[in-house]
Amino acid sequence: MNYLLGAFKPACNVSITFTDGKIRKQVPLKKENGQTVMVPLFQSQENISGKISIEPVQGKKVDHNGVKVELLGQIEMYFDKGNFYDFTSLVRELDVPGEIYERKTYSFEFSTVEMPYETYNGVNVRLRYVLKVTINRGYAGSIVEYQDFVVRNYSPLPSINNSIKMEVGIEDCLHIEFEYNKSKYHPKDVIVGKIYFLLVRIKLKNMDLEIRRRESTGSGTNTHVETETLAKFELMDGAPVRGESIPIRLFLSPYELTPTHRNINNKFSVKYYLNLVLVDEEDRRYFKQQEITIYRLQETS
């Protein structure tokens, strides 16, 4: 039995390290198996370099038809699992066909890499960046090793950031105006606003403000839409009267918000909404939804 187990052991150990791995910021990344690992953080146009070590198992040599490293940006739909759409694909050949008898180390570098989209793990889709090392061995079966990393891209403060003013009305029964201080927010921002009751002829029981994320994947008849309620914030408990105003102050930092993603590589979109929910004494619900834009602001250390 031990002989059989030995036949399936890898012929070598492959390790991938980044040049500045010890000083570069590390962020959590959730893997397919549900485990969370810490990986390096990059942004578009950065250089990605490092070393790849191949160490044969003691007493063995590795015959190969070449060694290469690829930098891949991939989108995977969960309803089409295992099929990756590569939007970025760069390759560096590291070695010509030959044999490896002892530990061998290769340097690699990808300069000013265009990484236009952020790493994203959603309900039905994920976007990932990975280094893939392949030791090509033909009939013996190639040896492949992966190293994930995360990409985040930052935006400047928007030059125009208009406030949101809207009205909710049921003719002759209810007239509410609500106002949010702006329409674009970063993930550590605060939503500040006010709600004015201009006419109240129905008995309201309570009012909540929700943050919702809507993820759309696919296209045409193959479109999948998932809506998650990320936060629910009680604005009011009890009946308001005409002329009353209620302040809103909602901190976004406790919630894991990604930036708004619009039609990423024609595969998926992620949008955020503020959803105002009013409930009357007969448990009828009234909704008013407004899209907001989330952008990632450069963090100051």
Model confidence pLDDT, tens digit, residues 115-171? 999 999 999 999 999 999 999 988 778 899 999 999 999 999 899 999 999 887 777
Beta strands, E only, 114-221: 120-121, 125-135, 143-151, 164-170, 174-180, 184-185, 190-200, 204-217
Q: What is the pLDDT of residues 16-46, one digit of tens each?
A: 999 998 899 999 998 877 789 999 999 999 9
> Distance between CA 217 and CA 79 in Å, rounded?
10
> Distance between CA 131 and CA 133 in Å, rounded?
7
Residue type, 62: V
Backbone angles phi, psi at 230, to 5 degrees: -85, -30
- Token pair for 57: 């198992």
State yes or no: pLDDT of 7 exceeds 60. Answer: no
pTM of the predicted protein model: 0.87
- The model's confidence at residue 228, banded by pLDDT at 50, 70 and 90, is very high
- Mean pLDDT estimate for the chain: 88
> How many distinct helices (H) and strands (E) make up the chain?
1, 22
Q: What is the pLDDT of residues 43-92, one digit of tens each?
A: 999 999 999 999 998 878 899 999 999 999 999 988 777 788 999 999 99
State yes or no: pLDDT of 194 exceeds 80. Answer: yes
> For position 1, what pLDDT does the model report?
39
> For position 181, what pLDDT does the model report?
93
> For position 9, what pLDDT does the model report?
66
- The model's confidence at residue 178, banded by pLDDT at 50, 70 and 90, is confident
Selection from 155, 301, 184, 176 nearest residue 243 by Cα: 176
